[in-house]
Every structure is written in structure tokens, then in C-alpha cells.
């Protein structure tokens, strides 16, 4: 289970923010991917992503405490309503390269020849090249000639950011005025979850694509532009009993995945997103553009 840590001190108030639990964040995702892979048209891909999530879990357990911003920077972020660990500007510790290399080692025995070649290429890349690609990923610019490397790099960056956000005391974080970026790292939400945790079954939380932090958002509102209930529509695959839906906006023509975890507590937003690419095709055909990045998936590069 995820740790529920309320920012508000009152027991009667729902938490405004839920941090990822280092013990289960990636292992739960791996379990769900294995479950979804059974009988799925993309079963091999989902099995590989399960192995990747297991490698992320192992790397996170090994990662040493990273360098953190000093008290003055944290106070400045708080005073200005900025995320304290802003992914686009925070200097990165080379620790994430170690996380990447551990993950490549862990994945090596499970891969086919094509993936093995990709892992070997990645292992040989110089640090500056890794940093340049990390900057693009953290800017959610997932296109370009290096895009085939991005999912594995993004997986290592996720490990590093989960470590970072869970290394600071909870009162460091405060809800932001804007609802469409992560209050911990400033990255975009992958989508949102209803029933993120057993204690908050009816509430909706946006979930960060990078660090997995979840923050409370109004139900039935567009995560991109904030348009209200009357502009929002819901879509699911006909005949599907799965917990994944898409929430589209007639105002800005974007859509985000919406996970009904209240209907299936084993579901995981990242895993269920990867297993519901048919829903993305449906929304694309209907003229909506995807609003929430899944950093582990670059279209055309699976
Ligand atoms: Zn985040
Ligand atoms: Zn909108």
C-alpha cells in the first residue's frame, strides 16, 4: 500500500498530497504489469515493462541518499509557491547514472537480441550525452533521433526522483496555485486516479509522470486548462470492464487517462496506461490530443 501522509494536520481533512512509497511504488507496478500481460495482444511488451519496473524497484533500494537543496532554497520555493525539487532546474546528482547502469544489468538476462543491443549502446554512452537526453526528457520533449533510449533513461530518472521527493520531510511540500503540475517536482501529470488510496476512495488525485506524487484535484475538471464539468467527457473501450477511462476536454481538446482504482485496487496508473493504448487510438480518432506524458512510452518506439 502507498503511504498516505496528509499535509493538513487535521485528521478529518483528506490529504492534499500523497507521496510515493519507496517500498512498493515500483514493485506494485511490476505486479500489475505481469497481471495485465496475461493474454494481452502486447503481452511481450508488458512483460518487458514489468521487468523494467522490477529493476527500478531494485535500483531504488540501492540508491544512496541524494544531494538535496539547502534550507534557503527550500524556503524560497515555498514562499514563491514553486515545487521544491523542480525537475527542469534542479542540478542532477550523477547517482541517477548508477541507477541506470544497475537497471541495465538487471534487464540484460531477460532481453532478446534487439533489446540487448540497445542496452549495450546505452551502457557505452558518455555522461554528457546522458545529461543532454535527461534534459529533453524532463522537458517532456520525447521526440528526436535518440527517442529509442528515452524510456530506459526516463525509468532511471523516475527512480532518482522518487528517491529525492521521499528524502525531504513532508511539510516541505505545499499545494500550488496551479493544479496541472506536480507540487514536488513540477513535472506534468500522467493522468489521474479516483480511489488513489483506500482512505480517499471517492477523491480524485492527479499523479506525477516523473516522481509519482499524487495531489488532490477537483473531480470532472480538465487537468490541462481547468475547464469544468460541462466541458468534460468520458470515454472507455466498448465492452471493456477495465478500470481505465479517458477524460476529454471540449475546451482545449486534450485528454488524460483516468484510473478508477475504486473499481480495481490492484490497478496502477502507469501500468494500466501502457496496457490501454487502444483507448489512446480511440481518442486520437475523435480529435483529442494526449495531455499527460507516460515517460516510459515513446509512440513508435516500443
Ligand atoms: Zn513529481
Ligand atoms: Zn481543457
Those residues whose beta carbon sits under 5 angstroms from the ion ligand 1 are 182, 184-185, 187, 208, 210-211, 213
**What pLDDT does residue 56 have?**
98
Whole-number Å distance, alpha carbon 221 to ligand 2 midpoint, is: 8
Average pLDDT over residues 55-73: 95
Name the nearest CA neighbour of 119 among 132, 131, 106: 106
- Cell digits of residue 241: 470492464
Q: Tell me the sheet residues that pair with 17.
A: 215
Name which residue leads in pLDDT, 219 or 33. 33
Asked if the model's pLDDT at residue 302 lies above 60, the reply is no
> What pLDDT sits at residue 112?
84
Q: How far is the CA of 86 from the centre of ligand 1 (A)?
A: 8
Packing angle of the helix pair 127-138, 150-165 (nearest 10 deg): 80
Using CB atoms within 10 A of its CB, is residue 173 exposed (0-12), middle (13-18) or buried (19+)? buried
> By the 8 A CB rule, do 199 and 211 touch?
no
What is the phi-psi region of residue 212: left when phi exceeds 0, alpha when psi lies from -120 to 50, beta otherwise? left
Can you tell me the mean pLDDT for 41-45? 95
Distance CA 35, CA 94 (A): 34
pTM (predicted TM-score): 0.94
Rounded to the nearest angstrom, the distance between the alpha carbon of 237 and the centre of ligand 2 is 21
The CA-atom distances, in angstroms, between 255 and each of 56, 171, 211, 222, 267 are 28, 32, 21, 8, 20
Q: By the 8 A CB rule, do 192 and 242 touch?
A: no
Shortest-distance ligand to the CA of residue 206: 1
The yes-or-no verdict on residue 27 having pLDDT over 60 is yes
Please report the domains of the chain, with CATH numbers, ordered by start residue: 25-172 (3.90.1670.10), 189-290 (no CATH)
Compute the distance from residue 240 Cα to the ligand 1 centre, in Å.
30
CA 29–ligand 2 middle distance (angstroms): 28
CB of 81 within 8 A of CB of 177? yes
Tell me the mean pLDDT in the region 185-209.
92
Q: What is the pLDDT of residues 240-266, one digit of tens each?
A: 778 999 999 999 999 999 999 999 999
pLDDT of residue 6: 44
Give me 123's grid cell. 551502457
Separation of CA 183 and ligand 1 centre (Å): 7
Mean pLDDT over residues 103-114, rounded? 88
Average of per-residue pLDDT across 41-64:
96
Phi/psi of residue 244, nearest 5 degrees: -95, 130
> Whole-number mean pLDDT of the chain?
92
Ligand nearest to the CA of 221: 2
Report the alpha-carbon distance of residue 243 to residue 141 in Å, rounded: 29
Q: Where are the beta strands (DSSP E) in the chain?
A: 17-18, 189-194, 204-208, 214-217, 232-235, 244-249, 254-260, 289-290
Amino acid at each position: 500500500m502507498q503511504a498516505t501522509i496528509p499535509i493538513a494536520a487535521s485528521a478529518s481533512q483528506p490529504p492534499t498530497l500523497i507521496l510515493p512509497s519507496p517500498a512498493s511504488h515500483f514493485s506494485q507496478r511490476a505486479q500489475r504489469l505481469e497481471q495485465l500481460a496475461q493474454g494481452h495482444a502486447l503481452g511481450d511488451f508488458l512483460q518487458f515493462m514489468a521487468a523494467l519496473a522490477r529493476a527500478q524497484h531494485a535500483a531504488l533500494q540501492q540508491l544512496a541518499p541524494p544531494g538535496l537543496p539547502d534550507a534557503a532554497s527550500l524556503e524560497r520555493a515555498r514562499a514563491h509557491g514553486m515545487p521544491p525539487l523542480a525537475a527542469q532546474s534542479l542540478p542532477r546528482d550523477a547517482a541517477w547514472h548508477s541507477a541506470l547502469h544497475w537497471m541495465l544489468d538487471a534487464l540484460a538476462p531477460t532481453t532478446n537480441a534487439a533489446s540487448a543491443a540497445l542496452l549495450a549502446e546505452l551502457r557505452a554512452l558518455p555522461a554528457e550525452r546522458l545529461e543532454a537526453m535527461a534534459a529533453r526528457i524532463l522537458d517532456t520533449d520525447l521526440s528526436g533521433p535518440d527517442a529509442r533510449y528515452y524510456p530506459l533513461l526516463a525509468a532511471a530518472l523516475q527512480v532518482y526522483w522518487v528517491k529525492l521527493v521521499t528524502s525531504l520531510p513532508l511539510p516541505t511540500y505545499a499545494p500550488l496555485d496551479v493544479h496541472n503540475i506536480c507540487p514536488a517536482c513540477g513535472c506534468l501529470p500522467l493522468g489521474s486516479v479516483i480511489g488513489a488510496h483506500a482512505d480517499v476512495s471517492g477523491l480524485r488525485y492527479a499523479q506525477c509522470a516523473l516522481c509519482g506524487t499524487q495531489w488532490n484535484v477537483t473531480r470532472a475538471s480538465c487537468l490541462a486548462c481547468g475547464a469544468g464539468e460541462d466541458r468534460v467527457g468520458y470515454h472507455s473501450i466498448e465492452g471493456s470492464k477495465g478500470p481505465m477511462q479517458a477524460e476529454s476536454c471540449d475546451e482545449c481538446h486534450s485528454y488524460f487517462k483516468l484510473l478508477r482504482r475504486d473499481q480495481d485496487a490492484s490497478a496502477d496508473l502507469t501500468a494500466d496506461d501502457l496496457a490501454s493504448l487502444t483507448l489512446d487510438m480511440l481518442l486520437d480518432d475523435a480529435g483529442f490530443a494526449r495531455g499527460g506524458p507516460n515517460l516510459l512510452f515513446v509512440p513508435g518506439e516500443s
